[in-house]
Structure 1
Amino acid sequence: MSDSAQRYGLFLNVENPDGDARDALMQTVSYAVAAEAFGYHDVWVAEHHYSSYAIGSALTVLLAHIAARTSTIRLGTGASLLALNDPLRVAEDIATLDLLSGGRIEFGVARGGPFPVQYRAAGIPSAEDARARMHEALALIQRLWREPTTSFDGRFYHCNDIALQPRPLQQPVPVWLASLSDDSLQLAAGQGYGLMATPSADLARVAGQVATQRAQRGDFPFAIARFFHCEPDHRDALEHGVACVRSYPRLMQVQFAAGALPPMFAADASEEVILANAVIGDPAHCAAQVRLLNERLGPHRLLLKPATHDPVMVRSALALFAQELGLSGG
């Protein structure tokens, strides 16, 4: 069922359930290398801080290692938490990554998700403040990449006559907002940015937002991450995949604001609700879910977030799915 217009990628969270940080990092790299061999188009890596479970804190270091081990797969920051970092340093790091990778970087940015400890440690009072910082930092970074010298006097960030070096190979570097808040939607529409939905985002709500954006913007870059698990036996795949999704909020220690809990993360979420917002099953069933996503969302990039922590099962699932899709190398 290969569709040359559809792009398939991998969304990696650098999870460390066994308390072995080196193994977790090396497994993340190995998944990216395998994804390229199987014919996937993108690999995106998440950034998290101050968690013993999600340890992808040095995003650009990890992506640089993946870049050195691959040659064709696109490399995405999924996402760079701009509010928690110096935007000048982020601009330098991403530009360097783009050069070293031969122009393969996709620059996704986010405010930081439902993890208040990240904000507290950075002295940021609220998620709303983090989002405002993200938007301002992104504006500064793009000017630094584009202008011979940059002076900037914003609410949060200031610089005077900065000539950033090196500059990215891509002009421009593709930018994605990993947010579907109203102000992020407006910013993306005004600047031509892509939009990205998280693995737990409710499909019905996302489909409505995408349809509204397409009515306003026409075609635009859109990506959606989905929890993923695939096994030859459909029932085994459901049993393993759904159990992993149910454990995820506890392991990640997510703290959603009142009224913002995704339906699939509710304590009493049914298997049907979880499966409606994931890609889990045998290869044929997973392919059918992809067709449904295409019908609901139109053109998009599908980013598969492995549900299981078993590295053998992850690689097997990616290989089975790539073969079913007819990806080159799968």
Structure 2
Amino acid sequence: MSELLQRYGVFLNVENPDNDPRDALRQTVRTGVEAEQMGFHDVWVAEHHYSPFAIGSALTVLLSHIAALTSTIRLGSGASLLALNDPLRVAEDIAALDLLSGGRIEFGVARGGPFPEQYRPSGIQSADVARERMHEALGLIRRLWSEPQTHFDGRFFRYEGVAVYPRPLQRPMPVWLASLGGDSLRIAAEHGYGLMATPSSDLGQIAQQVADERARRGAFPFAIARFFHCGDDSRRAIEHGVAAVRAYPRLMGVRFPPGKLPPMFSPDATEAVILANAIIGDPGQCVARAKELGERLGPHRLLLKPATHDAHEARASLARFACAAGLI
């Protein structure tokens, strides 16, 4: 499968199961660096707050470390939680990262996902408000990167004659919405944004949305993250990967609204349901599954989210896939 049809990337949380944050941060950076050596095209790092398990709160700090130790791999914010952050500071940080990395940043943004504990310290009352705040902040940031001075009078943000520096190297900056709900599809189409699907999203639903959006919009950038585990022994890999997916909602503290629970996170989800929405198995099975996604989704970036908390095993799993897929 050609690179134009399917690009391979790595999607990383900073997970801290052993209560050793220093090592968790260092291991995440190392995995991002080694992803370039394995031939992956992108590495995306998630942002989470107020969790002792998911400690990737300093997104731009992490990406700057990976940027300093790499030279070609694209660096994605997966995603910057604009509803929880000062948009002026995000604009400055992402611009500086883009300059320091030689124009390798992919600016992914999100409202904050099914983690209501993240909203409370910021005084955000609901996921809908967080989504509105995200879209407004993104519109402000894009203007800050292009206008000599910005006058902005929004619902959440108001500025009179503000200018931020530096400005990004890339003109325009690639922007991705990690959201396929609410007004996100319309806003993405109006502004030419890419769309991202999360690791737990239902493939059948996503495939239909992508097909419908391409029918309306034509070609557009699309990325999908999938839980991933690749082992030498198929049965052991499947047992490990499926168990990790089942444990993920509890460890992350996810809380989906009624009727929104992804099928793979259902307490009675079968192994078949989980495997249908993930990339799990031996190297041959994983590559075959990736190719099936290419045929079903069309051009996209496939982002592999390791389904293990052992960073060494995660890198070994990625290396097995990279070898089998001909990336190395």
TM-score normalised according to structure 1 size? 0.98
Q: What is the rounded CA distance, in whole Å, between the counterparts of 1:319 and 1:120 in structure 2? A: 40
Question: Could you tell me whether the CA contact under 8 Å between 2:10 and 2:304 is conserved in 1?
Answer: yes
Deviation at 1:292, TM superposition (A): 1.2
- Alignment match, 2:222: 222
Deviation at 1:226, TM superposition (A): 0.1
**Residue ranges of structure 1 left out of the alignment (5+ in a row):** none
- Alignment match, 2:119: 119
- Alignment match, 1:182: 182
Question: Could you tell me whether the CA contact under 8 Å between 2:5 and 2:294 is conserved in 1?
Answer: no
Question: Could you tell me whether the CA contact under 8 Å between 2:28 and 2:311 is conserved in 1?
Answer: no
Question: Could you tell me whether the CA contact under 8 Å between 2:8 and 2:302 is conserved in 1?
Answer: yes
Q: Return the letter of the residue paired with 1:148.
A: P
Q: What is the rounded CA distance, in whole Å, between the counterparts of 1:3 and 1:272 in structure 2? A: 29
Deviation at 1:25, TM superposition (A): 0.4
Q: What is the rounded CA distance, in whole Å, between the counterparts of 1:45 and 1:157 in structure 2? A: 26
Q: C-alpha offsets along residues 86-140 of structure 1, whole Å, 9 cap, x if unaligned?
A: 0000000000000000000000000000111111111001100000000000000
Deviation at 1:189, TM superposition (A): 0.8
Matches within 5 A, 1:92-241: 92-241=92-241
SS state at 2:88 partner: helix
Deviation at 1:3, TM superposition (A): 4.3
Deviation at 1:182, TM superposition (A): 3.5
Aligned length: 328
Q: Which moved more, 1:102-111 or 1:308-317?
A: 308-317
Q: C-alpha offsets along residues 180-228 of structure 1, whole Å, 9 cap, x if unaligned?
A: 1031011001111000000000000000000010001111000000000
Q: Return the letter of the residue paired with 1:58.
A: A
Q: What is the rounded CA distance, in whole Å, between the counterparts of 2:180 and 2:2 in structure 1? A: 29
Deviation at 1:6, TM superposition (A): 1.9
Q: Among the aligned pairs, what percent are the same residue?
A: 72
Q: Return the letter of the residue paired with 1:324.
A: A
Q: Return the letter of the residue paired with 2:285.
A: H
SS state at 1:227 partner: strand
Matches within 5 A, 1:49-68: 49-68=49-68
Q: What is the rounded CA distance, in whole Å, between the counterparts of 1:3 and 1:156 in structure 2? A: 41
Q: Return the letter of the residue paired with 2:119.
A: Y
Q: C-alpha offsets along residues 238-283 of structure 1, whole Å, 9 cap, x if unaligned?
A: 0111111111000001000000000000011000000000000001
Deviation at 1:5, TM superposition (A): 3.8
Question: Could you tell me whether the CA contact under 8 Å between 1:179 and 1:196 is conserved in 2?
Answer: yes
Q: Note the aligned Cα RMSD (angstroms).
A: 0.9
Q: What is the rounded CA distance, in whole Å, between the counterparts of 2:52 and 2:42 in structure 1? A: 26
Q: C-alpha offsets along residues 145-178 of structure 1, whole Å, 9 cap, x if unaligned?
A: 0111111010100111112110000001100000
- Alignment match, 1:31: 31
TM-score normalised according to structure 2 size? 0.99
- Alignment match, 2:261: 261
Q: Does 2:11 align with 1:14?
A: no
- Alignment match, 2:288: 288
**Residue ranges of structure 2 left out of the alignment (5+ in a row):** none
